[in-house]
Amino acid sequence: MVTERHFPPEAVIHLNLPVFVFSTAVAVATGIVFGISPAFHFSTPRLDELMRAASHRATAGSQSRRMRDLLVASQVALTVLLLAGAGSAMRSFVNVYRTKLGYDPHNVLTVGISLPDGNYTTYETRAAFYRGIHKHVATLPGITSAAVALFSLPPVEDVRQTLEIMGRTPEKGQTVNVQETTGEYFSTLEISLLKGRVWSEAENNRAAHVAVINEEMARRFWPNRDAIGQRIRFPELIAFTSWTLATTDSNGWLEIVGVAGNTPNRGLREPVAPAAYVPYTLVMGDSMQLVIRTVSDPMGMVRAVRQQIHSVDPGQPVAKTQTAEDLLRAEGWAREQFVASLFLVFAMLALALAATGLYSVVAYATALRTREFGIRMALGAQKTHVIGLVLSSAVKTVSAGIVVGAALGSAGNGLIGRWVSGSVYDPVMLGVIAALLFSATGLAAYVPARRAATCDPMQVLRTE
């Protein structure tokens, strides 16, 4: 069974009939076109060439040789393009995987709580419900810390609120991310507190007008001042639909009491945005998240967590449960890993086809030049000279393919850039690819070159 652990949500994989029909038509047309070419060539033979072939004096015609070299060079160019794409995709995956998170995702479980319609319709009952499940879950054996939060974990906290700063004229479009949570959120995720403090349980219960901001927000709005003690407001932080319940003056002025470290809040590929954390009791929705840190396997605690929730309300459904690592895979790692694997498979297939085609062409061309090599060796040519002739021809063809492939990579960088974050046109990567292809060329051409260099000149001349 395929799950989001292996593929990103946008990768819906199924058989597309128009694409299948088109691919089949292209494959059939390709076979017909490349089959007609030699058939047409041999349907109008030239007698002089046939006579030369019959007397074993025929060598590869220049037109035929150019066609073979062109096909091999084209195959190498495509291989360069795919290898460059694979290298860029792998680099993107490694960069995303190594993104500084600012928190520890290991052994963290999230449990969704969605209130049925008509349940806990007053502020007091809803606050008591969330406070009750938080207390029951936090005291479970095997759980070190727990918090209640409105939105999901990093890196998908991109929920903007208009920001006002006391003493400053409001700027149009000035927004920050706002996470509504409990004070335990920081210790549960192990987000570092750089300055100040977080709000207490008592402050959370009475919906104190306090806030903790991230380091980016402090740097952005108070670059040369201490953000602690400044007052901010989110005018949109009010009960705007029937599923939210707010305290009086929930959109009033909040005092900044702490500065926390940055965590990704716009995905793993985008810079961290300014963010603020406020008590969730200011505005409570009917959908919240339990954020839980466990001693060992987080999914092993799901059953016990459900039981604790049902001990507060037997009819309360439990929504989606997932680990922080699963969330990271779904929101960042999985896509990059999928794209990198896809490019790598096609690149390796292209490399294998290019090496096989190169071997076949070199072996065939070498066989056609057997008489030439025999004459050269009869006149005193060394084996190394013959091997050099065979290898130089292959290297020239591959070199042309590498140059064309590099040019295609530069021209198609924008197209491939839609799938990978790095540049395809990377001199270091192209150098590695060139070394790989030249190594493959040497291996593919060595056997035909060795065979040509070890032939008996007198036997070849008598046969010819």
pLDDT of residue 98: 73
pLDDT level of residue 300 (50, 70, 90 thresholds): very high
Q: Which of 146-160, 165-179, 196-210, 277-291 has the lowest mean pLDDT?
A: 146-160
Based on the fold, state whether residues 126 and 82 are members of the same structural domain. Answer: no
pLDDT of residue 214: 96
Based on the fold, state whether residues 121 and 87 are members of the same structural domain. Answer: no
Q: Which of 198-202, 285-289, 401-405 has the lowest mean pLDDT?
A: 401-405
Question: Would 324 be classed as within a structural domain?
Answer: no
Based on the fold, state whether residues 65 and 195 are members of the same structural domain. Answer: no
Based on the fold, state whether residues 341 and 448 are members of the same structural domain. Answer: yes
pLDDT of residue 422: 58
Based on the fold, state whether residues 308 and 248 are members of the same structural domain. Answer: yes
Residue 163 pLDDT greater than 90, yes or no? yes
Q: What is the mean pLDDT of the segment spanning 8-36?
A: 68
Based on the fold, state whether residues 129 and 241 are members of the same structural domain. Answer: yes
Residue 75 pLDDT greater than 50, yes or no? yes
Domain count of the fold of the chain = 2
Question: Could you read off the pLDDT of 239-271 as tens digits, one per residue?
Answer: 555 678 888 888 899 999 999 999 988 877 788
pLDDT of residue 439: 85
Nearest to residue 219, comparing CAs of 166, 262, 168, 162? 262
pLDDT of residue 50: 45
Domain final residue, candidates 257, 282, 316: 316
Residue 400 pLDDT greater than 80, yes or no? yes
116-120, 288-292, 432-436: which has the highest mean pLDDT?
A: 288-292
Question: Would 35 be classed as within a structural domain?
Answer: no
Residue 228 pLDDT greater than 80, yes or no? yes
Structural domain harbouring 283: 117-316
Based on the fold, state whether residues 342 and 393 are members of the same structural domain. Answer: yes
Residue 452 pLDDT greater than 60, yes or no? yes
Based on the fold, state whether residues 218 and 181 are members of the same structural domain. Answer: yes
Question: Could you read off the pLDDT of 130-156 as tens digits, one per residue?
Answer: 999 999 999 999 999 999 998 878 887
Crossing angle for the helix pair 427-453 and 370-378, nearest 10 degrees?
70
Q: Which of 32-46, 292-306, 330-344 has the lowest mean pLDDT?
A: 32-46
Residue 3 pLDDT greater than 50, yes or no? no
Question: Would 179 be classed as within a structural domain?
Answer: yes
Based on the fold, state whether residues 136 and 221 are members of the same structural domain. Answer: yes
Q: Which residue has the higher pLDDT, 373 or 42?
A: 373
Q: Which residue has the higher pLDDT, 122 or 40?
A: 122
pLDDT of residue 5: 41
pLDDT of residue 384: 77
pLDDT level of residue 6 (50, 70, 90 thresholds): very low
pLDDT of residue 355: 78
Question: Would 108 be classed as within a structural domain?
Answer: no
Question: Cα separation of 212 and 202, whole Å?
Answer: 16
pLDDT of residue 94: 75
Q: Which residue has the higher pLDDT, 458 or 149?
A: 149
Question: Would 197 be classed as within a structural domain?
Answer: yes
pLDDT of residue 294: 95
Residue 410 pLDDT greater than 90, yes or no? no
Q: Which of 31-40, 85-94, 285-294, 315-324 has the lowest mean pLDDT?
A: 31-40
pTM: 0.68
